[in-house]
Amino acid sequence: MEFQLGDHLVTQRFGYTHHGIYAGEERVIHYAGFSKAFKKDRVEITSLEEFSRGRKIRVQPHKDARYSPQDIVERARSRVGEDSYNLVFNNCEHFVYWCITGKEKSRQVRSAATNGIVVGGILALRMAIKIRRRDSSVLVTKKTG
């Protein structure tokens, strides 16, 4: 597949997607994050092969791109070496959205938070129902004398 300068590249990893900016010449700028086991890493420039780890790469289109492809790459390059990775507030997806739109966002984090709230709510409701059933099934008998 032929990528264009400034493309938002996405590749599947175990349990999440990884994001980067295509910088031309088979190179990708991305926040490495915890890609090397659990060692926190920096924004770096790597090969397409290293970025993908042998997995398929797709392009995420952006109708809300605020910058030209050249500016997107320059914004990405301006952060190479940055060491402020945070899974919730400053991950690879936040980085790519900032490069393209000027706004940091992560659909994965938002989805995980929403799913966490929904799952937490369902579990709490199930627990409340279980407690109510248990309480209503307990019969209190009174001895009369």
C-beta separation of 16 from 108 below 8 A: yes
**Other Cβ atoms within 10 Å of 112 Cβ, number:** 14
Among all chains, which residue has been given the structure tokens 């030209």?
Answer: 68
Mean pLDDT by runs of 10 across the 145 residues of the chain is 94 88 97 66 93 95 95 98 86 93 79 49 51 54 54
The full set of domain ranges for the chain reads 8-105, 107-137
C-beta separation of 95 from 30 below 8 A: yes
Cα(104)–Cα(89) distance, integer angstroms: 9
> Which CATH number applies to 8-105: 3.40.50.300, 2.40.128.20, 3.90.1720.10, 3.90.230.10?
3.90.1720.10
> Would you state the pLDDT for residue 119?
40
> Would you state the pLDDT for residue 48?
96
Cα(83)–Cα(42) distance, integer angstroms: 5
